Chains A and B, each alone.
Chain A
């Protein structure tokens, strides 16, 4: 069933069923939020120093000195 088919079906529901549907959708959305929160709480260590450019520049200077010899 596509989304466009839903409104006519929903309008045909009794008022009490419409309220239950609202509650059902709210619970579903809250459940999805909980899943996202669980993922957000996970700690995933990322060791890669992807932006350590000052450190990289320091290494280049040391390499230049190494090439130049003692």
Chain B
């Protein structure tokens, strides 16, 4: 109930800042959505990073097959050699923040950073169960994540890259992705 409210608010806030949000994404839907979107935009590559083993096993073979059918390459990490030819970055988010429609990505993995920074389009998968109302509720989790041993690179992403530096006119896609698509992961009906 409470989480349904967070999900609704997240969607509303994200859509208000040039982000497209879709629901009920299974691995098949994620693969099809990403490939179709890339093809529609004339993109030739997809860089995928950050998924856990289980999701990857369900997602990757399907993604590769669908991509191949449309002449799109699913890039193999590391992505450093591909800095100038990543069209779509496909990643999961760790958490969401409803109040601002913000994605939180655990980004220490350099490949994930490259996929989300240099792509023209970023497709991000978010589990609605991990959406928190505001940064107040998220603060202890974020604190713990930053303080984990070793390096941390936590990224809040809210909408596509933007600027208003010329005559204060809003313009999308200056250095980062021009398009941000969020896919809500299919919710398990086990309760």
Indicate, yes or no, whether A interacts with B.
no
